Structure 1
């Protein structure tokens, strides 16, 4: 049985159980496009306000600005993820127009390439050479989770991906890369005309610095939360939900991004309905028996970092 078959089998098992209850999950597929538009505007506002804090108040706020900008880069990345699934609008033209104007190029991403690789991630989940998001175990034998985390963040290919998105990818068409560069040239020219060179240069420096540092640290940790230390073989065996609260959740998993198992099982549910979807799935026998859910990052009885030990190494 192939990995794709296992993935489809897990999704079918869940939906079969839901159908017996009258398909209560179908309401969760309903979109509220205004919600995504407001969230995009909010993220842009936080980024620009962080830059303004440094330019017009004090350079001492630069470290805080880098963290805030990195967090909103992560949040915008989650909205881009929904755009890849056409979860902003079901109408592809509207969905892709918003993504290509306000999100994808800002994150150095090609929407078409993102959609292609993310579909492979869903269908070829956990397969070596098939899953483009598959992380590696560089160590054998028991080891501290932090060492495995360090292996990931010091991966040059991972850092280049965080820093430059699709600009450094040979698999992305030159036309798409030129669009990204052209978008940035236009955005910076507009910013220069409106708020002047100090703000524009500070924005660019803080944006790139955030991508190279805090964003990379956050994204790597988030990706490890999704699948690291689990065994391939389907959605249930290789995916987690992170049901955490507090500052760590805000920093690592904005926009409900921690509900990764729920998303893989019901990918047409938009990000703002994932908590409701998770509550529904908790009532399903197949999810209770097979679903992997963590409620802590570092402490508690079953922290997610405890699953990152090398003894859980994928063969």
Structure 2
């Protein structure tokens, strides 16, 4: 189990080395407020385009539409994550207004509840009963990675959380749930006004179907990439960076979300600077000695699924 002091200790050690090396990380803390707004607009446009394809082209586009929508749901979740760290805008009111109007309710989330839970994840990383994102492994891990993955895929608790978000989460106030529902009622009413009832019902159905299927599959893998198969003992030993390139990364880790170790070490770095922060860390001795980096999801000795299997054999 990690303690608060161990988490802060790892952060302090890396930051001290950054300072000794000239503080090159400071540039990476600068925010470009237009970047997330453009990315949110892109996500909304992609989701509406996928809906239009199903409505106007036909059901043969359904599999691709579900994949696109689920991927953009994942990307919007990453924007919400940055908002939780005030990485959209350092002015809290502006930061939360952007997320609260354009992102959080869309993905069934309360900004306030998300920030509180995510703070616990950072400060109580790996602590049973304290880390809300902790995936409890069985006493003995299966020897094949697919068994570990399918165990999470078919976990009702995991599916419920991925599908319902804060609408079905314990500890979320009824006023927050009501706010999410009210936002959706208003958004659907506007969509009916501009696109008609048929398009709006198709959008709602596709949104829910994507969350129940492809989004759950992607999110489960993404969550397991972060910490699963690692042993608590500090941020460096219990968190991975996924330095993966190509289409698989775009699908599973949009918006550079795979640089999870880098994020835990410097949470104030916005998502669009994470690759540069990761490159900076890789030049540092503490990161090279103790950090875990995977360069693939499924193929090769440094693939993340191989790490799950190695832990099962150890």
- Report the TM-score, using the length of structure 1 for normalisation: 0.97
Aligned-residue Cα RMSD (Å) equals: 1.4
How far off is 1:233 after superposition? 1.5
Structure 2 CA distance for partners of 1:2 and 1:309, relative to 1, 3 Å: closer
Q: CA deviation at 1:109?
A: 0.3
**Which residue is 1:109 aligned to?**
109
- 2:172 equivalent in structure 1: 172
Q: TM-score, normalised by structure 2?
A: 0.97
Q: Give the SS at the match of 1:32.
A: coil
Is this contact kept in 2: 1:192–1:200, CA < 8 A? yes
Report which stretch shifted further, 137-146 or 8-17. 137-146
Q: How far apart, CA to CA, are the structure 2 residues paired with 1:30 and 1:50?
A: 34
Q: Matches of 1:81 and 1:170 in 2, distance apart?
A: 19
Map Cα deviations across residues 256-315 of structure 1 (whole Å, 9 max, x no partner).
00000000000000000000000111111111111100001111122100112384499x
Deviation at 1:170, TM superposition (A): 2.5
Note if 1:243 corresponds to 2:247: no
- 1:56 deviates by 1.1
Task: Give 1:39-188 correspondences, 5 Å limit.
Answer: 39-138=39-138, 140=140, 142-188=142-188
What residue is the counterpart of 2:270 in the other structure?
270
Matched residues in 2 for 1:5 and 1:35: separation?
Answer: 34
Tell me the alpha carbon deviations over residues 1-39 of structure 1, each in whole angstroms, 9 at most, x when there is no partner. 961111111001101111112211111000001000000
> Residue by residue, what CA displacement relative to the aligned partner does 1:96-115 show, whole Å, maximum 9, x if unpaired?
00000000000000010000
Q: What is the CA–CA distance in structure 1 between the aligned matches of 2:255 and 2:313, rounded to whole Å?
A: 30
The verdict on how the C-alpha distance between 1:92 and 1:141 changes in structure 2, with shifts beyond 3 A counting, is closer
Query: Residue 30 of structure 2 corresponds to which residue in structure 1?
Result: 30
Label 1:313 to 1:69 Cα distance change in 2 as closer, same or farther (>3 A): farther
CA distance in 2, matches of 1:117, 1:313: 33
Aligned-residue offset at 1:137 = 1.5
Mark the runs of 5 or more structure 1 residues left unpaired by the alignment: none
Aligned: 1:214 with 2:214: yes
Question: Are the structure 2 counterparts of residues 266 and 221 from structure 1 closer, same or farther at C-alpha, using a change threshold of 3 Å?
Answer: same
Measured in 2, the distance between the counterparts of 1:311 and 1:123 equals 24
* Secondary structure at 2:241 match in 1: strand
Deviates more, 1:136-145 or 1:110-119: 136-145
DSSP-derived class of the 2:118 partner: helix
| Distance in 2, Cα, partners of 1:191 & 1:124 | 41
Counterparts of 2:21 and 2:141 in 1: how far apart (Å)?
A: 45
In structure 2, distance between residues paired with 1:142 and 1:202? 40
What CA distance in whole angstroms lies between the structure 2 residues aligned with 1:233 and 1:36? 34
Residues 36-67 of structure 1, C-alpha deviations (whole Å, 9 max, x = no match): 00000000000000000111111211111000
After superposition, the Cα gap between the structure-2 partners of 1:289 and 1:311, relative to the gap in structure 1 and judged at 3 Å, is closer
Unaligned segments of structure 2, at least 5 residues? none
In the alignment of these two chains, the number of paired residues is 314
- Give the distance between the partners of 2:170 and 2:124, measured in 1 at CA: 21
